[in-house]
Amino acid sequence: MKNLLPALFLLLSISATSQKETATISGYIQDASTGEKLIGAGVYDVKSEQGARTNVYGFFSLTLPKDSVQLRIMYVGYETIEMRLKLEEDQTINVEIKSSEELKSVVIKGKESIQDETQMSSMNLSMAKVKALPVFMGEVDIMKTIQLLPGIQSGSEGASGIYVRGGGPDQNLVLLDGVPVYNASHLFGFFSVFNADAINNVQLIKGGFPARYGGRLSSVIDIRMKEGNMKEFHGEGSVGLISSKLTLEGPIKKDKTSFLISARRTYIDLLARPIIKAAGDGNVGGYYFYDLNGKINHKFNDKSRLYFSVYNGKDRAYLKYDESSLENGIRETETFDQSLQWGNFISALRWNYIINPKLFMNVTGTYSRYKFNVGFNYENSEVGAGVNNQESYQFDYLSGINDWSGKVDFDYVPNANHSVKFGTGYIYHTFTPGVNEVSLSSDGSTNDTTYGSTNQYGNEFYGYIEDDFKIGNRLKANLGVHASGFLVGNKTYYSIQPRVALRYKLNELSSIKASYSRMTQFLHLLTNQSIGLPTDLWVPVTDTIPPQQSDQFAIGYARTIKKDYELSVEAYYKTMENVIEYKDGASFLGNDKDWQSKVEIGRGWSYGGEILFEKKVGKTTGWIGYTLSWTERQFDGLNFGEKFPYRYDRRHDIGIAITHKFNDRVDVGVVWVYGTGNAVTLGLERYLSFDNVFGSGYGEIEHIESRNNYRMPAYHRLDLGVNLHKKKKWGEQTWSFGVYNAYSRQNPFFLEFGYNDNNQRALKQYSLFPIIPSFNYSFKF
Amino acid sequence: MKRLVYLIFPLALVSCEKEIPLNAEVTDPKLVLNCGFEEGEPWEVHVSQSLSVIDNGNLSGVDGATVNILDNNGTLLETLNDDGNGYYSSTSLVGASGTGYKLTVSKSGFTSIESSDIVPSIPVINYKDTVSGTYLGEDVFEITFDINDPAGSNDHYLIQAIGYEDDGFGNTNEYQLWFNVNAPEFENTSPEEYNQIAFLKDGQFNGSNYEITIRADGWVAESNLDSISVYVSSCTEAAYNYAWSYDRYQSTSGDPFSQPVQVYSNVTNGFGIFAGYSTRSFAVEF
């Protein structure tokens, strides 16, 4: 490790000095109609066969020998344009390209081909693809589309949580405009918090992590919001079964300042309220969630831009109960009010500055907050006939995490053979890992108590450098290092994390790739195995709970077949140290102990192979993914120290997602998924306890041979959808009709032992969703 | 669990419930051994058989088994008497402190089972004081005593308190008291948690005098109890692991928010517990 950095800079300097008489072309590539920056677009000089790609802000830099150049600009779903330039000095060009939809023709050629990229174990999701696939209840969901990719496992039926290459739900770095999102779920995990109308680009990385990413072990999901149309005012929206949404965007000052605002809200509670009131039994209950996304983008000049983005989302389930009675002249009144709510608030202020054509800088300040609260308030009064008794009881359970952070990132492109990224950042964390507040009031006296864990604070800091460079015509490498530290209390942890990715081109159409990455995570998530709930607690490392660390090796083969098809085959082996899990019998409820006493520290392993066969262009597009994997955990204090399968150890996992466009008016989508059943813990034999035969108890014990000893039945499901588009004078409307679980497979949600109709003990399976049709009306103007 | 699902997601109201086959090997019933033995006491053993979790049958004792007590060298010390209903007892043999024993059970139609453990040393305890006071704003009744822990061994203790009350008709009612111990050496320590058994390991005070204060609810001092006896059992690791895991198992049974608990067993080829303990007590008279 010690020799890695000098070697990296040596390579860089040799390569930089070996290039003579060069000039740099730099600038932004953006959508011609909206001004939206295009992330990952290719800029390629046909003559010198050198190229570059735009970064996450749409910026590129390409240094070439001074000469006439023939630039080809490419982006999936957009026209490919070529331009000739006489390159005699550094030049800035901002290129606008038209989408193929606008051109009414299928002029779609790819970005850098899969066999050319150094990055492996990664995938970009097009929002058009996400929206074209059939979806649960008509709600387009990025996370559920990600679940269809190989190496990604979903959790329970319908849930949007993901488990990547054997990792836990805490090991995914979900970034919205570069800000971590701590709970990406609405409706108890059935939908994600990302409103697809406000999203521009999604990149998933599950291995071979570039050094710029850190802080989580298993994946990076980098989601970028749209910036807002710089050219003209537009809007889009939809009305569906679950929610409605509306997005508006446009220039505040044309080509200078733009805005985007997007809102979504469910309305089950509003629709049901009159019915509940009509029932008149004193109960009022409901549930809703909402999202708000907003962004302002201001261009000071060609070199300097400022972005401010904000997200606010909340879920709330509530139940109210009122009852009043009159007896013997005494009126007794009871009220009970219970609620469960959680939500994220995220904001980011970013400044992009082009220091020189080869050096791009981004400075970001962010705030992220996740808050969970469950509580109830009970009041009882007896008044009349000389009686006046009042009592109340209030309970609140609070948990959450707050982050303030700042970072600065640089992209340095010294020549066409090197692309260097480096930067540093700092995060100030505040953890509230479970505080109980109780207030008891009776006959005028009040007793308030707060107990549970107290706030904890953490200081996380990091720096990184990586270089993506060519060594000859066939070999390309991305070498880097991510260094990080975490200060909590009087304890400081440090970590040096080397990252290596290699690509060796076998021929023009195929390459082999290999990667190694070490990742360190200073945060843990206390999560209950039985069911994923927003009650999951984020907690920091402590004196006794060390950071999680993983080492992942991957090797793969990538090939383009007949231009339109891509095949990727990968094998991986990942070890995880210091993962945590609740002890036997531990529960998040009744949080009367510090959380550290509830967990065990252990290790995990995951290994397997993945195949992804994808067609990105043409009328029929989509992919078929298959994963074969094994995932295990071992804790000294659990399962009597023996290894056991992880709950989401899934031997076989298949995801098929295909869309077909018949014409501009009709397209259809098909999704089919199959997964080995989840591993759950069941006692399969029962016997008498000691206190039953020698004491006063009546105990029976269900013998659990091992944690996660039993497999639920396999999960599989077919979803179908059709989208009918129609141009209108004012824009375009789309009717989407879908069927979730088309053959109504009863997939397992949970299992328990009970009694059947013959009063015989039996294993029972509960399923959530049979066949569910849905529709959605959406519009754009 | 089902109620939880209804609470969190209304669509579950249309959820489907169905019986599915238990996809596990049909295992033959195994012999189950339950035996706690102590210094100076005759042996009493219960033998039963396990059933599949979906078997409607009653769990019952197994009669006609051969139950042998052997010493550490494998020498037969006594074959226990079959007392019926699965109970077996010794006629002359009693447990001796510091001695290891092995027990074997065989019965036709079952795989034989066996287990080994020792009778631990007798705990040395000294009663010190009782105080009525307040703790975290609550009225409590505190009982303080110490344990003189032997050096050089990993010792485990279980502490219980029982209140006795004469009902005026010549009968004595017994109440197992809930109490709180707030010290890091206890497995189930907590300022708020009240338990009926406190679980203690000597890791932090091996070989020394360790003072303990247990806090029962304040009503104890004002009740009609005539006395409280505090029982301190030194026990083997096997007894401790069984008692601790069974306590967790019972207290979290049916709670969907809790992790499932595996109850410890030290019986080879079967289930149950064979473990030694030694108990001493002191009484606080009112």
Q: What are phi and psi of B279, to 5 degrees?
A: -120, 140
Q: What is the DSSP letter of B131?
A: E
Minimal Cβ distance to A584: which of B11, B15, B262: B262
A765: which chain B residues are within 8 Å (Cβ-Cβ)?
17-20
User: CA-CA distance, A528 to A589, in Å (whole number)?
Assistant: 11
Minimal Cβ distance to A763: which of B22, B61, B191: B22
User: CA-CA distance, A560 to A584, in Å (whole number)?
Assistant: 49
Residue B105 belongs to a domain = yes
Cα–Cα distances in Å, from A254 out to A228, A249, A258, A297, A298?
Answer: 11, 12, 7, 11, 10
Residue B248 belongs to a domain = no
- Other Cβ atoms within 10 Å of A747 Cβ, number: 24
Name the strand (E) or helix (H) holding A270: helix A268-279
State the best of B257, B273, B277 to mutate against chain A, taking most chain A CBs within 10 Å: B257
Q: Exposed, middle or buried by CB within 10 Å (0-12, 13-18, 19+), for A698? A: exposed
B38: which chain A residues are within 8 Å (Cβ-Cβ)?
none
DSSP H helix total and E strand total for chain A? 6, 49
The 3-state DSSP composition of chain A as helix, strand, coil percent (nearest 5) reads 10, 60, 30
* Overall domain count for chain B: 2
Beta strands in A676-714 (DSSP E): 679-680, 685-688, 700-703, 710-711
Tell me the mean pLDDT in the region B57-83.
94
Cα–Cα distances in Å, from A650 out to A435, A678, A749, B112?
Answer: 35, 7, 15, 37
Q: From A534, which residue of chain B is nearest by alpha-carbon distance? A: B8
Is B255 an 8 Å CB contact of chain A?
Answer: yes
Secondary structure, 3-state, B32-49: EEEEEEEECCEEEEEEEE
A703: which chain B residues are within 8 Å (Cβ-Cβ)?
50, 263, 265, 271
Tell me the mean pLDDT in the region B247-259.
81
For chain B, the average pLDDT equals 87
- pLDDT, position B7: 44
Q: Are residues B93 and B154 in the same domain?
A: no
Q: What are phi and psi of B21, to 5 degrees?
A: -65, 145
Task: Quickly state the pLDDT bin for A280 (edges 50, 70, 90).
Answer: low
Task: Quickly state the pLDDT bin for B143 (edges 50, 70, 90).
Answer: very high
Quote the percentage of chain A above a pLDDT of 90.
49
Tell me the mean pLDDT in the region A70-86.
86
CATH code, domain with B225? 2.60.40
Q: What is the DSSP string of A160-188?
A: --EEETT--GGGEEEEETTEE-S--EEGG
Minimal Cβ distance to B36: which of A187, A447, A694: A694
Q: Is the pLDDT of residue A2 over 60?
A: no
Residue B15 belongs to a domain = no
Q: Is the pLDDT of residue A104 over 70?
A: no
Q: From B35, which residue of chain A is nearest by alpha-carbon distance? A: A690
User: CA-CA distance, A734 to A591, in Å (whole number)?
Assistant: 49
Is A432 an 8 Å CB contact of chain B?
Answer: no
Q: Are residues B114 and B130 in the same domain?
A: no
Tell me the mean pLDDT in the region A555-561.
94
Residue B58 belongs to a domain = yes
- pLDDT, position B15: 57
Minimal Cβ distance to B261: which of A584, A756, A767: A584
Is B151 an 8 Å CB contact of chain A?
Answer: no
Task: Quickly state the pLDDT bin for B253 (edges 50, 70, 90).
Answer: confident
Residue B256 belongs to a domain = no
Residue ending a domain, choose from B118, B144, B171 = B118
Instruction: Tell me the two tokens of residue A729.
Output: 């004078």
- pLDDT, position A725: 94
- Other Cβ atoms within 10 Å of A544 Cβ, number: 10
What part of A 470-529 touches B (C-beta under 8 Å)?
528-529
Among candidate residues B154, B160, B163, the one with its CA nearest the CA of residue B185? B154
Q: Are residues B89 and B178 in the same domain?
A: no
- pLDDT, position A596: 81
Q: Are residues B45 and B87 in the same domain?
A: yes
Q: Are residues B46 and B145 in the same domain?
A: no
Q: Are residues B135 and B209 in the same domain?
A: yes
Residue B148 belongs to a domain = yes
Minimal Cβ distance to A702: which of B17, B53, B87: B53
Q: Are residues B108 and B182 in the same domain?
A: no
Residue B274 contacts by C-beta under 8 Å, 6 or more apart in sequence? Answer: B33, B35, B37, B103, B115, B116, B117, B238, B266, B267
Q: From A188, which residue of chain B is nearest by alpha-carbon distance? A: B8
Minimal Cβ distance to B34: which of A688, A704, A756: A688
Is A688 an 8 Å CB contact of chain B?
Answer: yes
Residue ending a domain, choose from B63, B89, B118 = B118
Q: Exposed, middle or buried by CB within 10 Å (0-12, 13-18, 19+), for A580? A: buried
Q: Please tell me the least confidently modeled range out of A294-298, A431-435, B229-233, B279-283.
A: A431-435
Is A31:A99 a contact under the CB 8 Å cutoff? yes
One-letter identity of residue A447: N
Is A765 an 8 Å CB contact of chain B?
Answer: yes
The pLDDT tens digits of the residues spanning A743-778 come to 999 998 888 888 888 888 899 888 888 888 999 999
How crowded is the C-beta side of A771, counted as CA atoms within 13 Å? 9
State the best of B22, B262, B277 to mutate against chain A, taking most chain A CBs within 10 Å: B262
User: CA-CA distance, A691 to B26, in Å (whole number)?
Assistant: 27
The pLDDT tens digits of the residues spanning A312-367 come to 999 988 888 888 888 888 889 989 888 888 899 999 999 999 999 999 999 999 99
User: CA-CA distance, A73 to A80, in Å (whole number)?
Assistant: 6
- pLDDT, position A528: 62
Q: Are residues B165 and B217 in the same domain?
A: yes
Chain-chain contact of B34 with A703 (C-beta, under 8 angstroms): no
The pLDDT tens digits of the residues spanning A26-64 come to 999 988 888 888 888 888 888 888 888 898 888 999 988
- Other Cβ atoms within 10 Å of A338 Cβ, number: 17
Residue B1 belongs to a domain = no
Task: Quickly state the pLDDT bin for A158 (edges 50, 70, 90).
Answer: low
For chain A, the average pLDDT equals 87
Is B167 an 8 Å CB contact of chain A?
Answer: no
Domain of residue B94, residue span: 31-118
B49: which chain A residues are within 8 Å (Cβ-Cβ)?
687
Q: What is the DSSP string of A594-614?
A: -GGGGEEEEEEEEEEEEEEEE
Burial A584-596 (b: 16+ CB within 10 A, else e): bbbbbeebebebb
Structural domains of chain A sorted by starting position, each given as residue range(s) with its CATH number in brackets: 4-103 (2.60.40.1120), 122-677+712-780 (2.40.170.20)
Q: What is the DSSP letter of A138?
A: G
ipTM summary value: 0.90
Sign of CA dihedral A308, A254, A77, A48: negative
B277: left (phi over 0), alpha (psi -120 to 50) or beta: beta
Q: Are residues B166 and B201 in the same domain?
A: yes
What part of B 222-241 touches A (C-beta under 8 Å)?
none
Q: What is residue A535's three-state secondary structure?
A: coil
User: CA-CA distance, B63 to B81, in Å (whole number)?
Assistant: 10
Q: Is the pLDDT of residue A276 over 90?
A: no
Which of A208-212, A439-443, A525-529, B170-174 reaches the highest mean pLDDT?
A: A208-212
Q: Is the pLDDT of residue A651 over 70?
A: yes
Q: Are residues B97 and B173 in the same domain?
A: no
Chain-chain contact of A763 with B34 (C-beta, under 8 angstroms): no
The pLDDT tens digits of the residues spanning A458-486 come to 999 999 999 999 998 899 999 999 999 99
Q: Is the pLDDT of residue A628 over 80?
A: yes
Is A766 an 8 Å CB contact of chain B?
Answer: yes
Q: Is the pLDDT of residue A173 over 70?
A: yes
Task: Quickly state the pLDDT bin for B1 (edges 50, 70, 90).
Answer: very low
Q: Are residues B174 and B191 in the same domain?
A: yes
Residue B96 belongs to a domain = yes
Nearest Cα of chain A lies from the Cα of B83 at a distance, in angstroms, of: 13
Among candidate residues B120, B195, B128, B116, the one with its CA nearest the CA of residue B156? B120
- pLDDT, position A593: 54
- pLDDT, position A285: 79
